[in-house]
């Protein structure tokens, strides 16, 4: 054993503690779909990404149980060995149809997809790939850019004229260009201007990769995401299944050639065990339900606006949020933690988001709503905000 390792780790942790950036795991239980802390107190959940409440939907739970009973608890191998079952292919076909794409490929998680698909794309063609990535892209996208070892230029958040300048600066150079963005940004709750990004990508001969983790199920026609509004303009659509789908895992959708290439070149797909039947069953049921949930989506949008209005009355900056993700910028780490404690005293579970997840000085409460919140829950939340 290394006698110095634990001592050094303790020193690192103490340094994080000193600046209020240490993260701690906290146990909560789920009782009849409600969150309960260890003292038995029920808390209103405004921190999860289960935007349509599907993780608790009877049909989703039943199909997960049914497929596990019929097909087994686990997948037996990676997809290229014996992990590609008929149910796996059927769910992929259903996902592709949902996203309006030729084909789709399942991944074990969104992190794994972004971290490994981007490098697999960057090695296509001669002359290398230059990557252009939004400054607020998720950590998994940043990871993918680093793993790609490609030249990566970061454009200011949602600043398409900055992106245009960077693309112009690259004109005439050999190789390919790849633009990376989220359609809804996970910490600010604002949207990318996808039609403008599609036009820019086409104008500069670049491919466009869009992470729809927080849009799929919630936004776009029948919840199909924002890329669905730009028919055929987005080359690579990535999304997660652990958020509005209420399940687990992720997917990439696009052309048949894209999916066939990833099957051959993406290590995060090749060298990992397939998704288990219970997860596939849950995703299959979610895909049956999501297109018909316009009522829930409208209610979510209305409640998100009520929350933004309540925060604005208390002079909180909600940035450019227009979605179910509503930040309330506080500033320092310590103040954000204190605000989260105060909300919890009022029965609302909300997590303080601090650096390095967000920029120093912009620590915040990140409130996320879901359509399962009832009017009583909303009243309690709005009262807690009014007292904050």
Ligand X SMILES: Cc1ncc(COP(=O)(O)O)c(C=O)c1O
Active site residues: 49, 138, 182, 186, 211, 214, 243
**Closer to ligand X by Cβ: residue 111 or 155:** 111
Q: Could you tell me the two tokens for 13?
A: 């942790």
Q: Tell whether residue 333 is a contact of ligand X (CB under 6 A).
A: no
Q: Could you say which of 101, 150, 250, 285 contacts ligand X (CB under 6 A)?
A: 250
Which span (97-105, 109-117, 170-178, 315-323) binds ligand X, by CB under 6 A? 109-117
Closest distance to ligand X from the beta carbon of 305 (Å): 22
Q: Tell whether residue 116 is a contact of ligand X (CB under 6 A).
A: no
Closest distance to ligand X from the beta carbon of 48 (Å): 11
Binding residues for ligand X, rule CB under 6 A, total 13
**What letter would DSSP give residue 60?**
H
Q: Which residues of 155-165 are buried (b: 16+ CB within 10 A; e: fewer)?
A: bebbebebbee
**Closer to ligand X by Cβ: residue 300 or 384:** 300
Which span (8-16, 107-115, 229-237, 359-367) binds ligand X, by CB under 6 A? 107-115
Could you write out the DSSP letters of every residue in 76-124? Answer: -SBIIIII--HHHHHHHHHHHHHHT-SEEEEES-HHHHHHHHHHHHHTS
**Closer to ligand X by Cβ: residue 45 or 182:** 182
Which span (18-26, 104-112, 327-335, 342-350) binds ligand X, by CB under 6 A? 104-112
Residue 177 CB partners (closer than 8 Å, separation 6+): 129, 130, 131, 132, 167, 170, 204, 205, 206, 207
Q: Could you say which of 88, 140, 216, 324 contacts ligand X (CB under 6 A)?
A: 140
Strand 363-368 and strand 352-353: the pairing is antiparallel
Q: Could you tell me the two tokens for 140?
A: 């998994």
CB 188 within 8 A of CB 357: no
Residue 200 CB partners (closer than 8 Å, separation 6+): 160, 163, 164, 167, 179, 206
Closest distance to ligand X from the beta carbon of 248 (Å): 7
**Closer to ligand X by Cβ: residue 266 or 310:** 266
Q: Could you say which of 45, 92, 134, 182 contacts ligand X (CB under 6 A)?
A: 182
Q: Could you say which of 88, 116, 240, 323 contacts ligand X (CB under 6 A)?
A: 240
Residue the block writes with tokens 């894209």: 258
Q: Could you say which of 242, 246, 268, 276 contacts ligand X (CB under 6 A)?
A: 242
Strand 129-134 and strand 250-254: the pairing is unpaired
Q: Tell whether residue 213 is a contact of ligand X (CB under 6 A).
A: yes
Q: Could you say which of 71, 79, 99, 138 contacts ligand X (CB under 6 A)?
A: 138
**Closer to ligand X by Cβ: residue 239 or 277:** 239
**Closer to ligand X by Cβ: residue 67 or 251:** 251
CB 69 within 8 A of CB 263: no
Which span (21-29, 106-114, 189-197, 261-269) binds ligand X, by CB under 6 A? 106-114
CB 249 within 8 A of CB 64: no
Which span (110-118, 280-288, 303-311, 343-351) binds ligand X, by CB under 6 A? 110-118
Closest distance to ligand X from the beta carbon of 182 (Å): 5
Could you write out the DSSP letters of every residue in 347-385? Answer: TEE-PEE-TTTS-TT-EEEEEE--TT--HHHHHHHHHHH
H or E segment and range at residue 203: helix 194-204
Distance, in Å, from the CA atom of 353 to the CA atom of 332, rounded to the nearest integer, reads 10
Distance, in Å, from the CA atom of 284 to the CA atom of 54, rounded to the nearest integer, reads 12
Q: Tell whether residue 114 is a contact of ligand X (CB under 6 A).
A: yes
Q: Determine the residue with CB nearest ligand X.
A: 110
Q: Tell whether residue 217 is a contact of ligand X (CB under 6 A).
A: no
| Interacting residue ranges for ligand X, rule: CB under 6 A | 109-111, 114, 138, 140, 182, 186, 211, 213, 240, 242, 250
């Amino acid at each position: 054993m290394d006698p110095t390792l634990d001592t050094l780790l303790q020193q690192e942790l103490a340094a994080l503690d000193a600046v209020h950036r240490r993260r701690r795991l906290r146990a909560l239980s789920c009782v009849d779909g409600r969150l309960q802390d260890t003292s038995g107190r029920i808390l209103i959940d405004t921190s999860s990404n289960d935007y349509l409440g599907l993780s608790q939907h009877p049909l989703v739970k039943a199909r997960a149980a049914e497929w596990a009973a019929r097909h087994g608890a686990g997948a037996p191998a990676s997809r290229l060995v014996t992990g590609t079952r008929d149910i796996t292919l059927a769910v992929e076909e259903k996902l592709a149809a949902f996203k309006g794409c030729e084909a789709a490929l399942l991944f074990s998680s969104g992190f794994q997809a972004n971290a490994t698909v981007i490098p697999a794309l960057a090695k296509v063609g001669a002359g290398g790939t230059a990557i252009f990535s939004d400054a607020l892209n998720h950590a998994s996208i940043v990871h993918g850019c680093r793993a790609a070892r490609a030249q990566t230029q970061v454009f200011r958040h949602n600043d398409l004229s900055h992106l245009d300048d960077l693309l112009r600066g690259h004109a005439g150079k050999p190789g390919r260009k790849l633009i990376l963005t989220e359609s809804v940004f996970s910490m600010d709750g604002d949207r990318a201007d996808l039609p403008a990004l599609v036009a820019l990508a086409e104008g500069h001969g670049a491919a466009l990769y869009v992470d729809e983790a927080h849009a799929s199920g919630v936004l776009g026609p029948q919840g199909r995401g924002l890329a669905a509004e730009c028919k055929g303009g987005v080359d690579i659509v990535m999304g997660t299944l652990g958020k509005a789908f209420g399940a687990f895992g992720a997917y990439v959708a696009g052309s048949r050639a894209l999916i066939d290439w990833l099957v051959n070149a993406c290590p995060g797909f090749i060298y990992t065990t397939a998704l288990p039947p219970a997860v596939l069953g849950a995703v299959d049921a979610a895909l049956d339900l999501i297109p018909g949930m316009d009522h829930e989506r409208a209610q979510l949008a209305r409640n998100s606006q009520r929350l933004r209005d309540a925060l604005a009355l208390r002079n909180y900056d909600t940035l450019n949020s227009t979605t179910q993700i509503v930040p309330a910028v506080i500033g320092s780490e310590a103040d954000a933690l204190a605000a989260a404690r105060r909300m919890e005293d009022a029965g609302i579970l909300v997590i303080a988001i601090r650096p390095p997840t967000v920029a120093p000085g912009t620590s915040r409460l990140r409130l996320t709503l879901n359509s399962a919140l009832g009017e009583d829950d909303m009243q309690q939340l709005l009262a807690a905000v009014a007292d904050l």
